[in-house]
Amino acid sequence: MIYDISIIGAGVTGSLIARQLSKYNLKVCLLEKESDVAMGTSKANSAIVHAGYDAKPGSLKAKLNVRGNEMMGDIAKELYVPFKRIGSFVIAFDEDDMEQIKTLYDYGIKNNVPDMKILTKEEVREMEPNMSDEVIGALHAPTAGIVCPYELTLAAAENAVDNGVELILDCAIKDINKVDDKFELDTTRGKIVSKYVINAAGLFSDDISAMAGDDSFKINPRKGEYLLLDKRQGNVVNKVIFQPPTVMGKGILVTPTVDGNLLLGPTAENIFDKDDISTTSIGLDTVIKGAVKSIPSVNTRDVITSFAGLRASSSVGDFVIEKSQKVDGLINVAGIESPGLSAAPAISEYVMEILKSMDIELKEKDDYISTRKPVYRFREMDESERDELIKKDPLYGNIICRCETITEGEIVDCIHRSIGASNLDAVKRRTRAGMGRCQGGFCTPRVVDIIARELNIPKEQVTKMGGKSKVLVGKTK
């Protein structure tokens, strides 16, 4: 098959672009080298929807951050994705910090960020009682929020697939050639031919662009390490708490998550290996020291897991979203570091404007479905809602993950969706089974049983994350 458009990379940016394109009568494929969507930066970041005050005025980051923030509420509602507009603080410990906050405020005004205010120490303490006594003031941006980044990615990709986009997983790009007016993509899943290519390959977007013949930018990986705390620490703060930013990023933050945990981090370390997501004792110690500086009452005994994510920092210092000047038909969507998650909905709009300026026919579908199939989250329901759901499907009455109150019905549902889960981590990202305090100690064998049963495969074939990551190797008797 010859596709009109191939999107390379099924992170949050690529998946939301796919959703935008699914509104039109086009043959579109979304290609991902991993076994599932949201396997890179989109599953390991701060999960913050930034207000938009810290991007340089006039930059793409500034423009698309503010617009993406505006769009996020509606998109989250359409896709059944958790999103909370809780606001953020950038706190100051001395007068130099206050001057930096005033600069951020001025940036925010130029970027059209609404309702910002610089607060006194007393006003900060009134809103955040656990704030350090050393804080002398803060910039308050009430439009900031928190979202689940991998669930947003999954939902966007699922909605795109439901509207006709073809998702091809385990599809690494080996080479790209332009033959006449079409691209021939040599992949691990065979040859794919496409009239246009949208390069949303995250950390590897410079490699993909170079394969196609455009080496105009480079991506430098920047590692950030995080700590996630148990839900009993989730009410320590009410808002996203930032320290003044540096040239390396927005610093160590303390934030609640949409699921009620507390998240600390990240560090910021320039590295060379685009696959290095290891954590270090030095990095995690830096996270703890930074978090306690802001919120002294944070109890790191409640840490339940640590992880690291990589940011795609571009050599041009801004998002790279443009028609290639060297290769006709190639659109690069690269360098999508922070505030990339916040900007992602607006990036998809921006890419559509680029496509409209090119020689491509865009005819809207009459049967486009803007909403995702409902997701039932048993843990969020009241007793009457739970009773009704169990009457419809008794599997929702069987709790599989005790820490997160995840039912068998939720797990079965996620396996049989249009982008179904086929391994433990895929179930975990979709349902939170295994994300609680025991980190899967109780529910893992039960989830393995369900996956094997629903996919009609031996338990020994169930993997943690695809590939050779087997959970079981055989029977002892």
Give the list of residues 6+ apart from residue 64 with CB closer than 8 angstroms, or none: 319, 321, 343, 346, 347, 350
Give the list of residues 6+ apart from residue 439 with CB closer than 8 angstroms, or none: 304, 305
**Candidate list 33, 50, 61, 222, residue with the active-site label:** 50
Is 50 catalytic? The answer is: yes
Angle at alpha carbon of residue 19, lines to 15 and 22, rounded to 5°: 135
Give the list of residues 6+ apart from residue 380 with CB closer than 8 angstroms, or none: none
44 burial level (CB within 10 Å; 0-12, 13-18, 19+): buried
Beta strands in 316-433 (DSSP E): 320-323, 330-334, 399-401, 406-407
**Quick one: tokens of 241?**
């708490």
184 burial level (CB within 10 Å; 0-12, 13-18, 19+): middle
Task: State the Cα–Cα distance between residues 163 and 34, nearest whole angstrom.
Answer: 22
Task: State the Cα–Cα distance between residues 302 and 297, nearest whole angstrom.
Answer: 12
Rg of the chain on CA atoms, in Å: 22
Longest dimension (CA), the chain: 70
229 burial level (CB within 10 Å; 0-12, 13-18, 19+): buried
Task: State the Cα–Cα distance between residues 346 and 50, nearest whole angstrom.
Answer: 13
Cα–Cα distance list, 75 to 101, 160, 218 (Å): 30, 13, 31
Residues 409, 27 contacting (CB under 8 angstroms): no
Cα–Cα distance list, 275 to 220, 223, 449 (Å): 12, 10, 31
Q: Residue 249's Cα: distance from chain center in Å?
A: 17
Peptide bond into 149 cis (omega under 30): no
How do the residues of the chain divide into helix, strand and coil, expressed in percent and rounded to 5?
35, 25, 40
List the one residue out of 231, 230, 224, 241 whose CA is nearest residue 296.
Answer: 241
Is the alpha carbon torsion for 124, 128, 129, 133 positive or negative?
negative
Residues involved in catalysis = 50
